[in-house]
Chains A and B, each alone.
Chain A
Amino acid sequence: NAGVTQTPKFQVLKTGQSMTLQCAQDMNHNSMYWYRQDPGMGLRLIYYSASEGTTDKGEVPNGYNVSRLNKREFSLRLESAAPSQTSVYFCASKQDRVLEKLFFGSGTQLSVL
């Protein structure tokens, strides 16, 4: 069972470069999420998608864009990377609109130099 798969696992960018973080889930979940986690801190929500075709901003959306490509896939794009975006990025999904039982991927460690 793959669950939630994130690619890449590690990435180093230069300031101003762009990249897309990929996330896919095979659990037929409706909702998907992107979080960032800075050293020694909890997770902060960047964007989420309650269902296919919809996306909404979370707590820290600035500098990011997302695409809910289909029910399985939810990508996060950094158009012009900044050092402040150095972080670990986690994707998550859940089935139920009410219950917050999230399943997380293993994360992408991103460094922006």
Chain B
Amino acid sequence: DAKTTQPTSMDCAEGRAANLPCNHSTISGNEYVYWYRQIHSQGPQYIIHGLKNNETNEMASLIITEDRKSSTLILPHATLRDTAVYYCIRRDYKLSFGAGTTVTVRA
């Protein structure tokens, strides 16, 4: 019973926008969606979170569908340093991260 579903991997050209989808069809009404990324073998880094409205910060934008069953993380101008594993998670007492999406930004 996966809490979130993400594609295993995706490629992106440097300078282009990277759109990372996440499915969370069983999310409840007051539950946030969180995004993290893990570069190489470092500890994961928080990116952004959202509930209903779209959110933007200095790192990325988060678009949440009106029914809240899915969301998309947008890296507006991907750089080589954005190559990482990206995790979409929900609040859960286990707070476990699934396998995430491995994003490779190519020059």
A: contact size bracket: 20 to 34
Q: Please report the C-alpha to C-alpha distance between residue A104 and residue B95 in the assembled complex, in whole angstroms.
A: 13
Among candidates B41, B43, B45, B94, residue contacting A45 with C-beta atoms closer than 8 Å: B94
Pick from B36, B43, B89 the residue with the most CB of A within 10 Å: B43
Interface residues on B, range: 20 to 34
A51 shortest CB reach to chain B, Å: 15
Q: A48–B94 Cα gap in the complex (Å)? A: 9
* CB neighbours of A48 from chain B (8 A): 95
Given A41-B99, A92-B43, A107-B43, decide whether A100 and B91 contact each other with a Cβ distance below 8 A: yes
- A74 interface residue, CB < 8 Å from B? no
Residues of A within 8 A of B98 (CB): 42
Complex contact A100–B43 (CB within 8 A): no
CB of B44 within 8 A of chain A?
yes
Question: Are A107 and B41 closer than 8 Å at their CB atoms?
Answer: yes
For the complex, give the distance between the alpha carbons of A110 and B92 in Å. 27
CB distance from A37 to the nearest CB of B (A): 8
**Is B95 in contact with A106, judged by CB distance below 8 angstroms?**
no
Interfacial chain B residues near A64, Cβ < 8 Å: none
Judging by beta carbons under 8 Å apart, are A58 and B95 in contact? yes
**B95-A100 in contact (CB<8A):** yes
Interface members, chain A 25-67 (any B CB < 8 Å):
33, 35, 40-45, 48, 58-59
Q: Please list the residues of chain B having a beta carbon within 8 angstroms of any beta carbon in chain A.
A: 32, 34, 36, 41-46, 49, 87, 89, 91, 94-100
